[in-house]
């Protein structure tokens, strides 16, 4: 890390630790919050680190990636396989048949000790959750839950159609499935019409 300031070194370390723990890169706002600095300052550090070829970043959220990670990638023998199902819809609900495309290997730390039989991976189609950093072609790791809380990003089955949205229970036995994109409107359904299949716990993106 020659030629880097102490703050830049700390930012790189935070990005790597956050990515390893959460399974996705931090946002600029999360970096700013961690170091208690302005987002404009973070952007300046990121541009400097890009010029020094220490990281890459696109216009998409959570797209920061280190070019020279200190930690060695985990060997596949230490990864756990979970089923990779077919694409799901992350826009307005459309017909989306689920089928197993193969297996997807994940870090056991991401699963937090849960049984792999209660986890699966899904490929996203659509941009309705982009403001939460979930984009078309992303793969989300999903954990089957018995309980859900307001704000959870869930995989929901509505009238035999699968979608991913933020979950908000409402009065009167209704459920709001809220997108994270102003181009889409929230959908409200009777709870009897919605079957929650799991909560999104991590995301993986190919660059």
- Catalogue the active-site residues: 128, 165
CB 90 within 8 A of CB 134: yes
Angle, CA of 178, 182 and 183, to the nearest 5°: 100
CA dist., res. 82 & res. 155, Å (int): 16
CA dist., res. 126 & res. 134, Å (int): 9
* Size of the chain, expressed as the number of residues it contains: 207
CA dist., res. 145 & res. 197, Å (int): 8
């Amino acid at each position: 890390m020659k030629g880097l300031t102490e703050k830049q070194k700390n930012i790189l370390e935070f990005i790597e630790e956050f990515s390893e723990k959460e399974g996705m890169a931090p946002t600029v706002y999360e970096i700013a919050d961690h170091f208690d600095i302005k987002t404009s300052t973070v952007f300046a550090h990121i541009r400097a680190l890009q010029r020094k070829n220490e990281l890459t970043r696109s216009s998409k959220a959570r797209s920061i990636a280190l070019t020279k990670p200190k930690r060695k990638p985990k060997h596949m023998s230490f990864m756990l396989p979970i089923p990779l199902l077919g694409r799901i819809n992350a826009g307005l609900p459309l017909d989306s048949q689920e089928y197993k495309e193969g297996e997807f290997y994940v870090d056991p730390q991401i699963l937090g000790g849960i049984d792999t039989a209660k986890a699966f991976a899904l490929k996203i189609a659509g941009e309705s959750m982009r403001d939460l950093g979930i984009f078309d072609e992303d793969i989300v790791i999903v954990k089957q839950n018995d309980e859900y809380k307001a704000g959870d990003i869930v995989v929901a089955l509505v009238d035999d159609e699968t979608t991913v949205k933020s979950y908000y229970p409402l009065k009167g036995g209704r459920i709001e499935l809220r997108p994270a994109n102003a181009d889409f409107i929230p959908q409200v359904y009777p709870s009897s019409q919605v079957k929650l299949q799991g909560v999104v716990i991590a995301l993986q993106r190919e660059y």
